[in-house]
Structures are given as C-alpha cells and as structure tokens.
Chains A and B, each alone.
Chain A
C-alpha cells in the first residue's frame, strides 16, 4: 500500500521548499519538489540603471550574496563587451573562492551533518578514543582528549537542562544513524569549531569586498578595490599578508578537518553512494577567469549526459553560443501564466497561483532545461567536468578517496557522492584562493595597477548574460538593456535547475528524480529524504526570514 508524505519546509536554511513523496514497499515511488514562495524579485530591477543591477541582485538570495553580484556584473559587462583588467579578475576570483569555502564548510557541518550525526549518541563516547581516532585522520592540533571532553561536558549540560536548541529537530536514535559514539563526538566538536573557520573566509571576502555580506567593491568593468602596495588606505602589503594568513588557516581546516571528517563519515554510510543519483545529466560553466575577456579559465565547464564521462563536452568560454542559446525555462507545472518554454532574455514572470495540483501546477519554481533536457548542477557537475579533462588536483582527490572508500567515479552519482564532491570542491577552492593571491601580487609587481575600465552605459539595445559557477552550481543572470535602463532581467539559479518541477513533457527535475528508489525506513521520520535533498544544499533563493513567534508549527511532516 502506498503512503504519501509531505515535508514542509525541508531546508535547513533559506527558502521554503516542500517535498512530497509517495512511498511504496519501503521505497519512494514518486516525488514532487515544490517551492512555496514566489520568486519574482527580478521584477524590481526593471527600469533601473544597469550600473546598479549587481547591488540589488546580491539581495536575491540571503546566503549567496556574492555570487549574484558577480553574475550580475558579468551580465552587464557581457552585454556591453567590456574587458575586465587582470587585477580585478584575480580579486573577484579570490572572493569567489573564499565565498565557496565558507559556503561548503557551513553546508557540511551546519546544514547537512545532522542528517548523519547522532548528537545524543556523542554523550556515550569515550573522549580519549575519540581523540585517538581524530588524530589518526590528521595532525590537526585541535583534536586533544581535553577538547573532546569539554565539548561532551557542555553537551551533557545542555541535554540536562532540556535545551537541545538547534539539535532538537534532529532524528536521534533513528535506525539509519550508524556512526559510533566517538565519531559522533568528533563531528559535534568540529561542528562548533567550524564556525571559527567560516568566519576567516568571511573576513577574507570582506577585506577585498569592503563588506560581507553584500560586497561593495564591484563596478562595471572591474572592481573599486584600489591597489597600491605603499598606501595604507588601499589594498596594500599588510592587507595582503593578513589575507594570506586567514586563507591559509581556512585551508588547513578544510584539508585536516572537513575533508577527513567527510571521508570518515562516508566510510560508515557506503550504501549512500548507491542512492540518490536522479538526473545524471550535468552542466557546469567554466570558472576563475584568467584573462580580461572571460575566455580562459582555471576550472573547466561542460556537459555530461546519462552519467557517462565519455559524453563530456567542454564549454570553454562564457561567450559559448550553444550554451547561451541552449537555456530555456518552462512553466508547464509552475504557478505562472502559460505553458511555453522561453529563453531567459524573453522570460516572463506572471504569477498564476492554483493550489498544489500533482498533475498540474504545483510550485513557484520554473523548469530550466538545456536543449530540452533537465540538468543537475552543483559540485558534482564541476568535479566531473574537471575529472573528465584530467585536472590534476581534482583527479588526485577523487582517485585517492575512491581508493580509500572502495568507490569509483560512477559512485559520484549519488547522495553521498554529492557531499563528497562538495568536499573536493572546498579543497580546490582553498588552493585556488592562494594561487590567485600570488598571481595578483605578481601582476601588481609587474607594474600593472589597473583595477577597472571605466564604462558608460551607451544608448541603444544590448543583451548580455553573466555566468558564474557558484557553490550550488551554474548560475546565470540575463539582462536586456534599452535606452540606458534595464528592460528585462532573469536569474536562472542553481537551485532552480535542481529543484525544477516536471517539464511540459512530464520529465522530472533533479530533486524529484533523485528520491525515486530511495529507502524510507520510517515514514513519519523520513530521514532518508532529508539526506538526499540536503546533499544539494537546497536554497530556493527568496531570503524571506520573518521571525514568527506566534505559535504555528514550523516544520511539518505529514503522513497520509
């Protein structure tokens, strides 16, 4: 007999995502992904000055503010064919990489770990044993018996006072929780410590961006971060040295704590390399511009179809005509007028709400498609594209961990594979941050101090797109400029690709597809559904966070 489960909302952070699943014989038979909030905020950009677009666009999402700023500024630069000086590209690259590191650390520890880590079990751990396990994983200095004992004592005091707070919504004692108490204790201790390192990444972005969240240093044609090694008021040697220290410390945390924890936890949940593949078509755009025209990049982009790395086709520039023409967004099952699939430059956002109709319209999320096909975006797409091109750093990380865990690249198409790819990406991002800092210093050392090409918005009509490989995947902002004002603006965000509903042909999006076939041991505690959806870092980009002390139950799991 089949059971219907509704989880609303499912996200641990921004956004209002509802997931419905039909469970039959202990397995998910059908799934629906529904964004419960209208995402029409692009409309407020219409009629504004294109020079200001990035400043508004970075408020599209509550978490990834930097990524929308980057994508937006690139859309205007692309429309007007503006070159971006190397110093500005390097500064942007460091901000992009550090933002990613921060995002991935927070995702792993604070937004997804509790799906795998049983906090209450950590109370039973032997701190000495926990310390010796942690020390066998890496030589990070924070893994002493004393540290683990202190965390455990604190946890005991919280449990004794009945204040489990943040942990209260976890599924403790669930039969799908498998870590030994000591590994749970290690994870809890690092969960608390991780905040110190996400802070360093955040500070690094603030040093270059002037402010974080919401960087202030972008201008069409570059950055407004004045560079003068001798001047105390600009980006100078002292700031660069501080930046380097922050980024090195964060990299050490990623290498010696996050990544080893991820591999250790994955080793207890190897069956999760089998579940949750879903849509195995992948799309990544190239990132880390290394020339002034966005044609040369540090990390490759491309497409992969049907989970076959042999089908990899590279996307080498942000001007790739096939990429630009291949993107459409459909509304057949979304609460908007009409049923056509439109190119983002022609995109419309006219709300037409019905209720949740499983065979009709059931979400505010549109269905982005690439040449008519659903695509999964995010770290797996980028990691697989890099792996396919033989990128040495990525290849080594994937191959080493694969050997340790007894998996191959095929296992990356899974729930645990997504978490693993994020860890690989965090590693690579931490390295690239320092590489681009070196390149910046070397370029300035050569006597190049240009950081922006002054740009006036011309009269006439221009269309542009800004691509960016963000922490959650391929992001694009599409702009139409007419008479110096914004005529149309659409953002096709990673979570729209992944949270996409069925399209006009009835083909499911990645969230929907990845749940089918997953086990669900206890329908009233659908932990397995959370694990798979959280592995995408779901975030439906609406950023409403109004506090609600009035008394309605916030997260509901309804079993029919």
Chain B
C-alpha cells in the first residue's frame, strides 16, 4: 500500500507553510519505508492531482481558517469533503483541494482513503519560520501522523 503524506502551504508566509514544515520535520526526525512518500506539494492544487491519484492512502497536512485558537488541530475525512459536510468550499481559490478531489473522483482515480489534518495558524505574514505557537504544535502533529502510519502497518523509526 502506497501512503502519501502531502504537505501543503507556502514556506515564506510563516504559518501558511505549516504543511511543508511538517514534511521537513518528519524527514529530519524519522526514517520511513519506501512505500511511504513525503511530499512538499507547495500550493499547487490541481497541478499535483496526480500525486494524490498515485497513492492508496493520503494524509494531507494544511492550515485551516476556522473558529478556535491558533494551534488547534482539526481532522476531516474524504466523505466530509466529498459529501459537502463542510459548510463551504474548502479553499478561497476556486480550485482548491476539494475541487481537486472532485475531478479526481470523476476520473475514477481518487483514492478511497484521504484524511486532512488542518491546524489553525497564528500568523500569515511574510517570514520563513513558523510562529512560536505552531512551532510548538509541529512535533505533536508529526507524532499523530507517525502513530497513524504505524497503525497502518508501516515501519517508521525515530532517526537518531
């Protein structure tokens, strides 16, 4: 089973880059088996649909703008997205993750298992580092992903 960890975001807008920081953090701190791919998807949306389609299981990491405090983590599953259980479109862009998955579904190529881990940002100002709140939150989210990968049967080891 091929599992893709897809980090979305922009590295030069502080917390906006959370998904990518998360990928970097995982690479620096853990060793993954070949069937797990860590992917810095940047902000490409539809132009990287194929990465999603090539996997059997996808965990997306991104920021979410919703009521709550910076650092709070939310989790959505594929059906939340596909059945419009979220109140509105997921992205302020007209082609965001939700649309990407719809197109993929229409192509008959969308994996069944997709989860989205979203964290509330504290800052979206220009800057290449995470805010203190999200820096603190990073190992926790990475830990959630590692636990999930292990429960799926992937052998993930801490890097010494």
Residue positions of A touching B, CB distance < 8 A: 9, 11-16, 40-41, 43-44, 56, 59-60, 62-63, 65, 102, 106, 110-111, 154-155, 158, 163, 165-166, 169, 192, 195-196, 198-199, 202, 211, 213-214, 543-555
Check A548 against B11 for contact (C-beta < 8 Å).
Answer: no
Name 25 A/B residue pairs within 8 A (Cβ), A-sorted.
A11-B93, A11-B94, A12-B95, A13-B46, A14-B43, A15-B93, A16-B92, A41-B12, A43-B126, A59-B10, A63-B44, A158-B106, A163-B84, A165-B102, A166-B103, A192-B103, A192-B106, A202-B48, A213-B44, A545-B43, A545-B91, A547-B64, A547-B91, A547-B118, A551-B87
- B133 CB–A CB distance under 8 Å: no
> Closest 5 CB pairs between A and B?
A62-B43, A165-B102, A199-B50, A166-B99, A12-B94
Check A548 against B91 for contact (C-beta < 8 Å).
Answer: yes
**A211-B27 Cα distance, complex, nearest whole Å:** 15
Within 8 A of A (CB), among B13-61: 13, 16, 40-50
B108 surroundings in chain A (CB, below 8 A): 154
Chain B residue at smallest Cβ distance from A545? B43
A106 surroundings in chain B (CB, below 8 A): 46-47
Check A214 against B42 for contact (C-beta < 8 Å).
Answer: yes
- B8 CB–A CB distance under 8 Å: yes
Chain A residue at smallest Cβ distance from B89? A554
**A548-B94 Cα distance, complex, nearest whole Å:** 12
Number of B residues, CB within 8 Å of A: 56
How close is B21's CB to chain A, nearest CB, in angstroms? 12
**A379-B8 Cα distance, complex, nearest whole Å:** 29
**A44-B125 Cα distance, complex, nearest whole Å:** 10
> Residue A44 contacts which of B49, B121, B126 (CB distance < 8 angstroms)?
B126
Check B64 against A549 for contact (C-beta < 8 Å).
Answer: yes
Given contacts A59-B10, A544-B124, contact A13 B65 (CB under 8 A): no
Within 8 A of A (CB), among B108-128: 108, 116, 118, 121, 124, 126-128
How close is A308's CB to chain B, nearest CB, in angstroms? 36
Chain B residue at smallest Cβ distance from A45? B12
Given contacts A13-B93, A192-B103, A551-B87, contact A202 B50 (CB under 8 A): yes
**A166-B62 Cα distance, complex, nearest whole Å:** 20
- B88 CB–A CB distance under 8 Å: yes
Check B128 against A546 for contact (C-beta < 8 Å).
Answer: no
Given contacts A16-B92, A62-B10, A192-B107, contact A548 B65 (CB under 8 A): yes
Encode B75-103 as 1/0 by CB contact (under 8 A) with A: 01000001110111111111111110011
Name the residue in B9, B40, B92, B95 with the highest tally of chain A Cβ atoms < 10 Å from its Cβ. Answer: B92
Check B94 against A169 for contact (C-beta < 8 Å).
Answer: yes
A16 surroundings in chain B (CB, below 8 A): 92
**A550-B118 Cα distance, complex, nearest whole Å:** 13
- B131 CB–A CB distance under 8 Å: no
Encode B118-146 as 1/0 by CB contact (under 8 A) with A: 10010010111000000000000000000
